[in-house]
């Protein structure tokens, strides 16, 4: 895969909000994610989607790298991460609990 021809810039809140604006309409009728265990999930589908968009924009190499960025990067902590933060186990639990139904609902 060839590298992209544009230069990576630092994300700004305005730019990120403009990029994600079409998702706000699509997320209005999305069902809630349900946990498979006894604990409730710390992320909803919108939080998960925001994290995945950030993951791809910043070209992270792994989920752990993304979680580290969500803790340490000021922009990510303020605009992407859930308000209470996210632990490694909770993040991967939300990823696994998501399943296919929210994604098909988002596309259709």
Each domain of the chain, given as residue ranges in start order, spans 42-108
Mean pLDDT of all residues in 39-51 = 79
Mean pLDDT of all residues in 75-79 = 87
Distances (CA, A) of 78 to 28, 59, 60, 82: 22, 19, 18, 9
Distance, in Å, from the CA atom of 50 to the CA atom of 21, rounded to the nearest integer, reads: 11
Which carries the bigger pLDDT value, residue 80 or residue 104?
80
For residue range 21-42, list pLDDT tens digits in order. Answer: 888 777 777 767 776 777 777 7
């Amino acid at each position: 895969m060839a590298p992209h021809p544009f230069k990576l810039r630092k994300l700004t809140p305005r730019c990120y909000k403009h990029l994600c604006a079409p998702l706000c309409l699509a997320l209005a009728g999305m069902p809630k994610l349900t946990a498979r265990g006894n604990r409730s999930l710390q992320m909803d589908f919108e939080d998960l989607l925001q994290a995945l968009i950030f993951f791809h924009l910043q070209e992270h190499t792994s989920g752990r790298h993304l979680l580290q960025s969500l803790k340490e990067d000021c922009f990510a902590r303020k605009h992407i991460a859930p308000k209470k933060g996210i632990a490694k186990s909770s993040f991967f639990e939300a990823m696994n609990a998501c399943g296919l139904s929210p994604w098909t609902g988002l596309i259709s």
